[in-house]
Amino acid sequence: TGLIFGHYQYDTTLGFEILNVPPVIGVNWLMLVYCVGIILKPLSIGRGVWGEVLFTITGAATLTLFDYV
């Protein structure tokens, strides 16, 4: 929608698009989420439900910051 980070425009080198988004972008985000999870895992944010919630929030904030930058 472009409401938060503005409008994206992908180059044609990324291949075909589905709804104006190349599927390779999904693969990119999958790799980013996996890598951030691996990086944050040793931090041992906590155990139990609240530890998982904090882990999720920290991961989401990290990915959002990365996207913003």
Whether the model clears a pTM of 0.75, i.e. scores above it, the answer is no
Query: What integer pLDDT is reported at residue 46 of this predicted model?
Result: 65
Q: Tell me how far apart the alpha carbons of residues 53 and 63 are, in angstroms, rounded to a whole number.
A: 15
Query: What integer pLDDT is reported at residue 36 of this predicted model?
Result: 92
Per-residue pLDDT of the chain (69 residues; tens, 9 = 90+): 677 777 777 778 888 888 888 899 889 989 999 999 898 888 766 677 888 888 889 999 999 898 888
How far from 6 is each of 3, 25, 69, CA to CA, in Å? Answer: 6, 16, 13
